[in-house]
Amino acid sequence: MFRKRSAALVYLSLLTCLVVVGGFLFLRSAFFTVQKIEIDGLNRIANEEISKLIGNVKGENIFTIDTADLATKIQLHPFVEQAAVERKLPSTLKVAIKERKAAALIVAGEKVVEVDLSGIVLKYYEGWPKEDSPVLTGVSIPESTGPGQKVSSPEIDALMKLVGQVPPELLPKISEISYKPSKQINLYLLNGIEVRLGYSGDYAEKIKLLNELLNSADFQAVEKSIKYIDLTAGKPVLG
């Protein structure tokens, strides 16, 4: 009885070893080498730019790929806000990307700087870009600031906070947002109307009033004769 039990244990141990070794070799086989990379979420970024950041991982075993490390490398691109890399067995890596969105432009010397809502520099332009974003004036950024770096100052932060409070339907109507030496903020609409918002702070209510005013039939009837809208006191005064 004892000998039969010992033989059974030896057999079970050998079988377990064979299964483990076989499984290990199978997972390391060519069946699980990376053959394809799927990249989703690209709009302004070229596929080749992301592929370059990922590097040459094709042919590598899919289980040895550090997906978190790849995601970190992809997020080095200034236009990438978030990146995630997942394994799609047996041989595909799936990359999901969330791009940063341009929120404003800042003139820096002879160049124009594009930034997102958090103040991250996206790109430098030699001339005016095609992307339609309001221009921030009365602010400056260090010349050493490169793409992917964050620009921040009390003036820039105040303007970016304001941009974040503007509803999507109103934003295309704004050509310029100006921070005045008096610490007041003015908007300039595409139709040439100046909008005086007053001192920096929470402008959400004033922006709401402005949006309602611009969409009202009464205002649209006299719009061409309006030079400014003063919201400093919280209620619109037209002039």
Q: List, for the chain, all residue ranges whose pLDDT scores fall below the cut of 50.
A: 10-11, 13-28
Structural domains in the chain, CATH included, are 32-99 (3.10.20.310), 102-238 (3.40.50)
Whether residue 90 is preceded by a cis peptide bond, meaning omega within 30 degrees of 0, is yes
**Residue 175 CB: number of other CB atoms within 10 A?**
15
Q: So what's the pLDDT on residue 5?
A: 55
Q: Which of 173, 201, 199 is nearest to 188 (CA)?
A: 173
Q: So what's the pLDDT on residue 184?
A: 92
Task: Answer for the pair 209, 236: CB distance below 8 angstroms, yes or no.
Answer: yes
Q: pLDDT tens digits, residue range 161-219?
A: 999 999 999 999 999 999 998 889 999 999 999 999 998 677 999 999 999 999 999 98
Q: So what's the pLDDT on residue 202?
A: 76
Q: So what's the pLDDT on residue 4?
A: 52
pTM of the model: 0.82
At 38, list the tokens: 């799927």
Coil, strand, or helix at residue 202? coil
Residue 229, exposed/middle/buried by CB under 10 A (0-12, 13-18, 19+)?
Answer: buried
Q: So what's the pLDDT on residue 139?
A: 94
